[in-house]
Amino acid sequence: MMEIYNKEKKTNCHIFGIHICVKEYRMFQENTSSSCLNVITTSTEDGTFQKKGHSARILSPEEAERLEKDQVLVSEFKQLKLEKEAQKNWDLFYKRNSTNFFKDRHWTTREFQELKACREKNALYSTERCKVFQCDLTKDDLLENIPADSVDVITLIFVLSAIHPDKMHLVLKNIYKVLKPGRCVLFRDYGLYDHAMLRFKSGSKLGENFYVRQDGTRSYFFTKEFLSQLFKAEGYEQVVNEYVQRETVNRKEDLCVPRVFLQGKFQKPFSKT
């Protein structure tokens, strides 16, 4: 699913921005912890701290050993079946969790000032200024619904991790066509060694950093290097690309788990004259 925000009146076709959520193919989660070089540490509204930097989380010896042993991949037959049934599995997921799963974490405008500025100056979520349509970003041409070079900002927040790694470049190629030169894609998704990655049991691995849950939905865990290469290969310029590490505390169970996310901004370059 995709929301198109109109900068002008409803009758004007000028497009302001796109929020791509792959049918909200991810919860907005808060995050992480651990050792990280060249970090910036900040306090958040909930009183916890997060670290940003270019180094991945360092595993404990036990975690490293567990990942090293988990080398058996899901069979090719099952992987093809999962790819074919991906939409059905996500539809079932959201049917089960439509009212009791998602929470507004209020972090998007903290992390992406572009979105804060947008909300202050424009009624982005007014029904009179939104065009909503559903498409498969790996297959459907966005130009059928959006003019070329017309979008000011695109968010990919917990989207690409739900898509097979072999098809991620198709998404970036598709949104590139509608993004204005000089404007950015705002990215946030699961990072390497996130707690969710370490929780997968043996027999869940589909490929490098790619796993399947018990309900058939899949998740990829990004490295900074992979993400940079992915965007640059489609013509984007990297503005920001860093790990965000936080600790999520479950006070009821007295647990503190490390969350790792990758956050970035990638710009479509101005046309060369």
Using the predicted structure, report yes or no on whether residue 220 has a pLDDT greater than 90.
yes
Mean pLDDT (whole number) for 183-192: 96
3-state SS class at 13: coil
Q: Are 256 and 248 in contact (CB under 8 A)?
A: yes
Using the predicted structure, report yes or no on whether residue 19 has a pLDDT greater than 50.
yes
- Weakest mean pLDDT among 30-34, 50-54, 111-115: 30-34
pLDDT at 255: 80
The amino acid at 166: D
pLDDT at 44: 57
| DSSP per-residue string spanning the chain | -EEEEESS-TT---EEEEEE-TTT-S-------S--SS-EEEE-TTS-EEEEESSPPPPPHHHHHHHHH--PPPPHHHHHHHHHTHHHHHHHHHHHSTTTS------HHHH-HHHHHHHHHS-TT-GGGEEEE---TTTS-GGGTS-TT-EEEEEEES-GGGS-GGGHHHHHHHHHTTEEEEEEEEEEEEBTT-HHHHTPPTT-EEETTEEE-TTS-EEE-B-HHHHHHHHHTTT-EEEEEEEEEEEEEETTTTEEEEEEEEEEEEEPPPPP-
Q: Are 235 and 261 in contact (CB under 8 A)?
A: no
Q: What are the tens digits of pLDDT across the range 222-271?
A: 999 999 999 999 999 999 999 999 887 777 777 888 899 999 999 999 97
Using the predicted structure, report yes or no on whether residue 6 has a pLDDT greater than 50.
no
pLDDT at 234: 97
Using the predicted structure, report yes or no on whether residue 22 has a pLDDT greater than 50.
no
Q: What are the tens digits of pLDDT across the range 157-174?
A: 999 999 999 999 999 999
- Weakest mean pLDDT among 18-22, 56-60, 69-73: 18-22
Q: What is the mean pLDDT of the chain?
A: 81
Using the predicted structure, report yes or no on whether residue 37 has a pLDDT greater than 70.
no
Largest CA distance in the chain: 60
